[in-house]
Amino acid sequence: MAILINAEHLSRYYGKHCAIKNVSFTLTQGEVLGFLGPNGAGKTTTMQILSGNLAPSSGRVEINGYNLQDQAKLAKRSLGYLPDTPPLYKDLSVQEFLYYCAQLHGIPKKTIAFAVIKAQERCGLISVSQRLISNLSKGYQQRIGIAQAIIHNPDVIILDEPTVGLDPLQIREIRDLIRELSHDHGIILSTHALSEVQAVCSHVQIIHQGQLILKESIVDLNQKMDTGSVLISTRLKPDLTVLRALAGVLSIEAISDLQIKIAYHLTDNPTSRIIGTIISSGWELQELTPLKKSMEDIFITLTQDND
């Protein structure tokens, strides 16, 4: 897989205040990297540096192999960026605006009309294409911002809080769009909605007080979230001694007569044996829920540890 973004030791100071400190990471094709952090953690600063809007105090960024500082034009060719406030000229119509963006990104004249229509289609803007941007709702404006970032089919797409201000249906559409785009692009998106990361990202990176404190794939993260316990409800009272005797079971906590919590070894998951025992003993299984730490829990533990 081609490395699309290579950020090395990025630091950024505003006067004496340090916004990000020694941040390094890479993004490869097909990855959707979720940038997660509380307010003021340095998400937007990092995004601005990656998009060439802000020069880092130290460190370097390579996009598609081109240094963002020295070969800015070449590097920016493969970059689509949606800032936290969508950069829209409000006195233009959607179509005019996207046409201008296409021109700015150097799309050949013959294919501009096609690119504009394609971007409008992808972001659901066809029905409003003739309307003035200033008259459209926040949700539509956000979508125009996304359309603007993907119109030239860039290798790297940077989205700063792409689903802010959208209704649940629109959020789902945008997430579908991101998933679709992720097949042949590398995407970085920042958010503080943890569910969003779980929904669309393949990797997650948590930034706190300007420093990266976690970089993990979602699969690994999900494993980490496994607490090694299940919650079980039955219709008749089970015999706890029988269950405790099963291999892998560590302890059983009875929450009520009909509800128990079983902790087990992470290496030896006894869930299927538990189910088998309950059914063959005729206790009638009603519910079995693997207990997981929520993303919130992980987030909070990580950010509080570093305080």
Partner 1 sequence: MSMILTIATREFKSLFLSPLAWTVLAVLQTILAYIFLTQVETFNLLQPKLATIDGALGLADIVITPLYSNAGIILLLITPLLTMRLICEERRHKTLSLLLSAPVSNVDIILGKYLGLLGLLVLAILMITLMPLSLLSGGSLDNGKLIANLLALFLLVTAFTATGLYMSTLASHPAIAAMGTFGILLLLWILDWSAGLQEQRSELFEYLSLLRHFQNIQSGLISSVDICYFLLFTASFMVLSIHRLANERLQK
Residue 55 near partner 1 by CB under 8 A: yes
- The yes or no reply on residue 89 touching partner 1 (CB under 8 A) is yes
Decide if residue 136 touches partner 1 (CB under 8 A): no
Please say whether the beta carbons of 275 and 281 come within 8 A.
Answer: no
79 lies in the site for partner 1, by CB under 8 A? yes
Part of the chain binding partner 1 (CB under 8 A), chosen from 2-10, 69-77, 248-256, 275-283: 69-77
Q: Which of 74, 225, 246, 288 binds partner 1 (CB under 8 A)?
A: 74
DSSP 8-state assignment for residue 240: H
The answer to whether 104 contacts partner 1 (rule: CB under 8 A) is yes
Of the candidate residues 9, 90, 138, 244, the single one contacting partner 1 (CB under 8 A): 90
Q: Which residues contact 114 (CB under 8 A, 6 or more apart)?
A: none
- CA distances 7 to 42, 102, 154, 210, Å, are 15, 27, 18, 14
Residue placing its CB nearer to partner 1 in the complex, 92 or 213: 92
- How far is the C-alpha of 195 from the C-alpha of 45, rounded, in Å? 22
Site for partner 1 in 1-30 (CB under 8 A): 14
**DSSP string covering 107-141, please?**
--HHHHHHHHHHHHHHTT-GGGTTSBGGGS-HHHH
Of 25-33, 89-97, 221-229, 252-260, the window that binds partner 1 (rule: CB under 8 A) is: 89-97
106 is a contact residue toward partner 1 (CB under 8 A): yes
Query: Looking only at residues 146 through 175 of this chain, which bind partner 1 when binding is defined by CB under 8 A?
Result: 148
Number of residues this chain uses to bind partner 1 (CB under 8 A): 29
> How many angstroms separate the CA atoms of 116 and 290, rounded?
47
Length of the chain: 307
Integer angstrom CA distances of residue 134 from 137, 145, 160: 8, 13, 21
Q: How far is the CB of 154 from partner 1 (least distance, A)?
A: 10
Query: How many angstroms separate the CA atoms of 286 and 283, rounded?
Result: 9
Residues near partner 1 (CB under 8 A): 14, 48, 51-55, 72-74, 76-77, 79, 81, 83, 85, 87-92, 100-101, 103-106, 148
